Amino acid sequence: MKHVTSLGHIAIKVKDLDVSLEYYINKLGFPEMLRLHHEDGSVWLVYLRITDEQYLEIFPGAENDRAPGWNANGPNHMCWTIDDLDACVAELKAKGVPLLSDIKKGADGNRQAWLEDPDGNRIEMMEMAPDCLQYLAIERLREVS
C-alpha cells in the first residue's frame, strides 16, 4: 500500500500488567509514554516507546497464561531491528534476561537472537546485514518501479 510509511505499533494482551511493565521498562528499557483508562479508572492500555514513531501497546487482562505457540494462527513474534546485537545481548544477559537462543545467522542472512516476555510473546532481535535478502529484494523492487 503506497501511503503506508511505517509500522506504528504492536499491541499485546498480558496476564499481569505489573510483571509485563517490569520486564519491558526495567529489563528491556522501553519507557512508558502514556496510559489510557476505562471510565471506571482502570487501565485500558499502556503505551511504551520503541522509537519516536513506533510503540508497544500493552493491554492487561489476558484470559490465558501464555501467548499462543509457534504454530498457532495469528501473530507469531515481534522483531526489533538492533544496531549492535552483541552489545544488546550482553546488556540483556547482565540484567538477567534469559534468551531463547544465542546469536545466530538466520536464513535471510541477518544475525538474530530470541527471547520471550513473561507471557510467552516471542521477540526476535535482528541485526541487518548489508547483503541480507531483504535489502536485495528491496533493490529488485526499486528496479521494477
**Span 14-33, pLDDT tens digits:** 999 999 999 999 999 999 99
Instruction: List pLDDT tens digits, range 83-133.
Output: 999 999 999 999 999 999 989 999 999 999 999 999 999 999 999 999 999
User: Domains in the chain, ordered, with CATH?
Assistant: 1-63 (3.10.180.10), 76-145 (3.30.720.110)
Nearest to 105 by CA among 90, 86, 126, 81: 126
pLDDT at 145 over 80: no
| pTM attached to this predicted model | 0.90
Q: Measuring CA to CA, which residue among 73, 81, 62 is closest to residue 120?
A: 62
Q: Which among 96, 90, 130, 136 has a CA at the least distance from the CA of 113? A: 90
